[in-house]
Amino acid sequence: MKLKEALDLPFGGKYMHPDKQRYVENLPSHEKDVVTGMYPNLDGENMTYLELITSATYKSSVERLAKYLGLSLEAMHKKHPSFSSLYNIILTNYLGTVQAEANYKQELQVLAVETVLDLPEFKIIKEMVAAGMLKIDARLDVPDLRNAVTENELKSKNGKLSTSEKDTQQLATEFVKPQLDPEILAKRSFAKTFAQGNAVNKFYLFHLVEDRLKQINPQLPKMYGIVCAGTTMSYYGMPMIEMSKSFANSAAVGSAEVINDGEIKARGANFPILVHEIVKGIYNWLTYDVATQKELDRETLDQEVLELMSGQELYNIFLKQIKVKDQPLIPFIVKDLLQHPAEVIKKVNAGKEEAGKIMPLLVRRAKITYILYKFVDDDDLVPQIREKLMKMPENEIDVIYAGGEQAEDALQDVINNLQ
Partner 1 sequence: MKDNFDDLVNNLLSKTLFEAPAAPVEEPQVEPQVEPQVEPEVQPVPKPTPGPQRPVVPKRHPLQPTRPDVKPRPQATDKPTLGPDARAFIKARE
Which residues within the stretch 222-281 sit at the binding site for partner 1 (CB under 8 A)?
A: 227, 230-231, 234, 238, 241, 243, 248, 250-258, 260-262, 265, 268-269, 273, 276-277, 280
Please state, in angstroms and rounded to a whole number, the distance separating the CA atoms of residues 178 and 165: 14
Binding mask 180-219 for partner 1 (x = CB under 8 A): ------------x---------------------------
The distance of closest approach from Cβ of residue 222 to partner 1 in the complex, given in angstroms and rounded to an integer, is: 17
Minimum distance of partner 1 from residue 262's CB (angstroms): 8
Q: What is the Cα–Cα distance from 325 to 252, expressed in whole angstroms?
A: 36
Torsion, Cα of 385, 391, 396, 402 (10° steps)? 50
Query: Considering only residues 73-102, where is the footprint of partner 1 by CB under 8 A?
Result: 84, 87-88, 90-91, 94
User: Which CB sits closer to partner 1, 176 or 361?
Assistant: 361
CB of 142 or CB of 319, closer to partner 1: 142
User: What is the enclosing helix (H) or strand (E) of 264?
Assistant: strand 263-268
Q: By C-alpha distance, which of 151, 119, 94 is closest to 298? A: 151
Q: Are 51 and 7 within 8 A, CB to CB? A: yes
Which residues in 19-78 contact partner 1 (CB under 8 A)? Answer: none
Among 24, 69, 205, 411, binds partner 1 (CB under 8 A): 411
Kindly report the CA angle at 305 between 84 and 293, in degrees rounded to 5?
155
DSSP assignment of 29-93 equals HHHHHHHHTTSSS-BTTB-HHHHHHHHHHHHHHHHHHHHHHT--HHHHHHH--SGGGGHHHHHHH
Question: What is the closest distance, in whole angstroms, from the C-beta atom of residue 46 to partner 1 in the complex?
Answer: 16
Task: Give the footprint of partner 1 on residues 390-409 (CB under 8 A).
Answer: 390-391, 400, 403-404, 407-408
97 touches 217 (CB < 8 A): no
In the complex, minimum distance from the CB of residue 383 to partner 1, in angstroms, rounded to a whole number: 4
Residues of span 122-181 touching partner 1 by CB under 8 A: 124-125, 128, 133, 143-149
Q: Which of 123, 139, 212, 386 lies at the binding interface for partner 1 (CB under 8 A)?
A: 386
Nearest approach, Cβ of residue 377 and partner 1 (Å): 4
By CB under 8 A, which span of 12-20, 43-51, 216-224, 363-371 interacts with partner 1? 363-371
Nearest to 8 by CA among 240, 16, 28, 311: 16
State in angstroms the smallest separation of the CB of 211 from partner 1. 26
First to last CA, the chain: 60
What is the rounded distance in angstroms from the CA atom of residue 251 to the CA atom of residue 314? 26
- The helix/strand/coil state of 142 is coil
To partner 1, the closest distance from the beta carbon of 5 in angstroms equals 26
Point out which span in 58-66, 176-184, 213-221, 338-346 binds partner 1 (CB under 8 A).
Answer: 338-346
Is the sign of the CA dihedral 352, 358, 364, 370 positive or negative? negative
| Identity of the residue, 153 or 212, whose beta carbon is nearer to partner 1 in the bound complex | 153
Among 177, 380, 395, 417, binds partner 1 (CB under 8 A): 380
Smallest distance from partner 1 to CB 338, Å: 11
Q: Is the Cβ–Cβ distance between 298 and 178 less than 8 Å?
A: yes
Smallest gap from Cβ 284 to partner 1, in A, equals: 6
Distance CA 249, CA 59 (A): 29
DSSP summary character for residue 240: P
> Which SS3 state, helix, strand or coil, does residue 139 take?
strand
Query: Of these, 56, 161, 180, 376, which contacts partner 1 (CB under 8 A)?
Result: 376
Let me know: does 330 contact 213? Beta carbons within 8 Å: no
Using CB under 8 A, pick the residue from 51, 121, 304, 313 that binds partner 1.
Answer: 304
Q: In angstroms, what is the minimal distance from the CB of 389 to partner 1?
A: 8
Select the residue interacting with partner 1 from 291, 322, 338, 363 (CB under 8 A): 291
d(CA 152, CA 140): 29
Q: According to the binding rule CB under 8 A, does residue 374 interact with partner 1?
A: yes
The one among 379, 393, 395, 419 contacting partner 1 by CB under 8 A:
379
- Contact of 186 with 345, CB cutoff 8 Å: yes
